[in-house]
Structure 1
Amino acid sequence: MIATCYLKGVSTRRMNDLVATLGISNLSKSQVSRMSEELDEMVADFRNRPLDPGGHAYLSCDALTIKVREGGRVVKCSVLLATGVNADGYREMLGMHAATAESNASWKGFFQDLKARGLRGVFLITSDAHEGIQHAISEVLPDASWQRCRTHFAKNLYEKVPKTQWPMVSAMFQTIFQQPDAQSTWAQAHEVVDLLEPKFPQVAAYLEESLDEVLAFTAAPKPVWTKVWSNNPTERLNREIRRHTDVVGIFPNRESIIRLVGAVLAEQHDDWIQQKRYMSLSALEQTKHLMHRTGDHHGDYHQLTA
């Protein structure tokens, strides 16, 4: 019962009220964590399972910061997450990794673990501009392109523009993503840079130097653009994780983070597999053709950006 309540995000105070009816009093967070250890085997099986041999063309990666007690003090732990779209078009939770901090080494180790479990056929990885993630992708998954989340990039852009001018700049930025094809998207992006140059030269330069990252999605088939050009689809997952971790507040150890977050992810994974396809089979087939036609899909990407 305690393990189920723990997984569902019930607070320790409410658990106290519940178990008081069974003659148990003063239930602590550490006791709740120990009673929930039966989840460990299920979480370990989920985290170590072989991945779909059909490959995962599209990945979305994110990182959450969670507080934990280590060495007698409260520190921040980074939980790295990866979701993917399998060969049948369904979303999957691919894995999680609890790291001391975001870095090239932590992302590299995470991607290496995914590869060891069978990750293959990656075409595009979408994420925020996390510390070290670009280098890790190039080292471990050299055939994959990196898409910088357009939503978070827009927030970075916002910080460089006077607040009174942001509505105009934002409207111009959004026109880039309203184009019918890759060629038009790149043409519009360069036009926006030219329009910004006279009044906001620093903003124009920042946008221009980031285009390869922000418009990497244009190398993918048009039907998947809205699903890969930002990390927005994972925001609901992040909120669900936060709903559970905020109840705990400060975790007693790193193992308890893996236990709770891993159990939440396993549950979400099962839900996704039972939902309708996230991407169409035809779009995935187009992606496969792109990769096979060039042997290295970066050839298509550079042709589009030239």
Structure 2
Amino acid sequence: MAQYQINVDDEFLKGLFLQDGGVAKLVEQVLNPILQAQVTEQLKAKPYERSDERRGYRNGTIPHALTTRIGRLVLRVPRIRNGEFSTEMFARYQRSEQALVLALMEMVINGVSTRKITQITEELCGTGFSKSTVSELCKRLDPIVEGWNNRNLREHRYPFVLVDALVLRIREDHRIRHRAAMVATGVNEEGYREILGLMLGDSESEASWREFFSWLKSRDLRGVDVVVSDSHSGLVRALQTEFQGCTWQRCQTHFMRNLLDATPKSLHDEVYQRIRAILDAPDVKSARLLMEQFVEEYAEKAPKAVRVLEEGFDDVKAVLGLPEKIRRRLRTTNGVERLNEEIRRRERVIRIFPNRESAIRLIGALLMEIDEAWTTGRRYLDMEAYWAWREQQASSAQTAKVHTLRG
């Protein structure tokens, strides 16, 4: 990844917060040098530098206006003689920003926004926008988000899939309704994370989750070995139907919350430490021994907590069947929870989505950018241990089959 050195004038910084639009001006001061650094990388030469590797020559800059939540930016985009300067900055940055601004505009047009939202929208977009303007902007952005969200997944196998949902408020038929935004992330055979898809369901019912999983499979999701989620009953039943033969790992973070909710407050600290030791055990045998000790000691002091532990033990420790090197990141849905936090940051600005399309557009554009960062960044898991373990499992199964036939 390229590293950029940004220099900001001292006098500029002194007056930064004494003027309107100071933050926008600061962002301009950061982004314009980055654009210059990128054109240097593309041309393989600095301005006026003589180099055998030079691939072209600069031809000044052109202004490029960018509307953002912090104000209107004017960036100086380099031009190249007999060529075209390319940067992903605008494409990646504007997708989610456009989706946010569009949601705000729709709220104003539909007459459901607060005065504050109206003021913000007018500052960002100017006062001259209409339904036709919003419609035209949606036509540009929606196909991009829809194409990504419905892309074929055949290119990779996804041994590990993590799923979760968060509830959004959406205006439908002049009423505010709660809808479930279901999100799936996967770890492919090379160890990179991807966001597999987003779907809005009427609720977190078994029917909604089955529809979601069926949709993922229709896009050629394959190779699923372990699915990680919380213990929502509708979700679990849908997993058992749609991903038969897969291992279900119950999220240990959610499990701990459920168990502590069933524990007397006076025992929270000591119970937490005892359950943490069970979850961190190196193998199933050790975990079961610690569980039996806990059950014996707390059967009378915390009977509800004991019942939660006994009923959930096998599901919460399923990850122990995997190689130790990859267990930690598959014990919980914390990675998906962080995605939810990013979504919530945008959702708090909107509060109530004007329609379903707006919710898909905004969340999808955000997930698109996160997905691009994941797939071009560092590996999430080292999969060598997993594939070696799978090969060993297959070999052991084949040996057992041979012995059975001979017997």
Asked if 1:223 is matched to 2:293, the reply is no
Asked if 1:16 is matched to 2:118, the reply is no
Asked if 1:97 is matched to 2:214, the reply is no
Structure 2: which amino acid aligns with 1:248? I
Picking from 180, 189, 197, the partner of 1:78 is 180
- Taking a change above 3 Å as real, the CA distance of residues 204 and 142 of structure 1, as seen in their structure-2 partners, is same
Equivalent position of 2:88 in the other structure: none
Picking from 234, 255, 260, the partner of 2:336 is 234
Write the distance in 1 (CA, Å) between the matches of 2:362 and 2:125. Answer: 20
- Unpaired runs of 5+ in structure 2? 1-65, 68-93, 105-116, 398-407
Write the distance in 2 (CA, Å) between the matches of 1:203 and 1:36. Answer: 50
Cα drift, residue 247 of structure 1: 1.1
Structure 2: which amino acid aligns with 1:270? E
- Taking a change above 3 Å as real, the CA distance of residues 108 and 150 of structure 1, as seen in their structure-2 partners, is same
- Taking a change above 3 Å as real, the CA distance of residues 52 and 191 of structure 1, as seen in their structure-2 partners, is farther
Structure of greater Rg: 2
Asked if 1:214 is matched to 2:320, the reply is no
Deviations 1:119-169 (A, max 9, x none): 112111111122411111111110112111111111111111111210011
Picking from 254, 260, 263, the partner of 1:152 is 254
Structure 2: which amino acid aligns with 1:175? A
TM-score (norm 1): 0.87
TM-score (norm 2): 0.66
- Taking a change above 3 Å as real, the CA distance of residues 41 and 119 of structure 1, as seen in their structure-2 partners, is same
- Equivalenced residues, count: 291
Equivalent position of 1:300 in the other structure: none
Write the distance in 1 (CA, Å) between the matches of 2:297 and 2:154. Answer: 46
Structure 1: which amino acid aligns with 2:180? S
Deviations 1:4-36 (A, max 9, x none): 53346796543321333xxx25x6899768734
Write the distance in 2 (CA, Å) between the matches of 1:9 and 1:167. Answer: 46
Write the distance in 2 (CA, Å) between the matches of 1:121 and 1:291. Answer: 16
- Does the 8 Å contact 1:82/1:96 carry over to 2? yes
Deviations 1:17-69 (A, max 9, x none): 1333xxx25x6899768734422111111111111444111111000110111
- Does the 8 Å contact 2:260/2:305 carry over to 1? no
Identity of matched residues, %: 35
Moved more, 85-94 or 170-179: 170-179
- Unpaired runs of 5+ in structure 1? 296-306
Equivalent position of 2:287 in the other structure: 185
Structure 1: which amino acid aligns with 2:214? Q
Picking from 137, 140, 143, the partner of 2:242 is 140
- Does the 8 Å contact 1:8/1:244 carry over to 2? yes
Structure 1: which amino acid aligns with 2:206? N
Q: RMSD in angstroms over aligned alpha carbons?
A: 2.5
Structure 2: which amino acid aligns with 1:14? I
- Does the 8 Å contact 2:99/2:361 carry over to 1? no
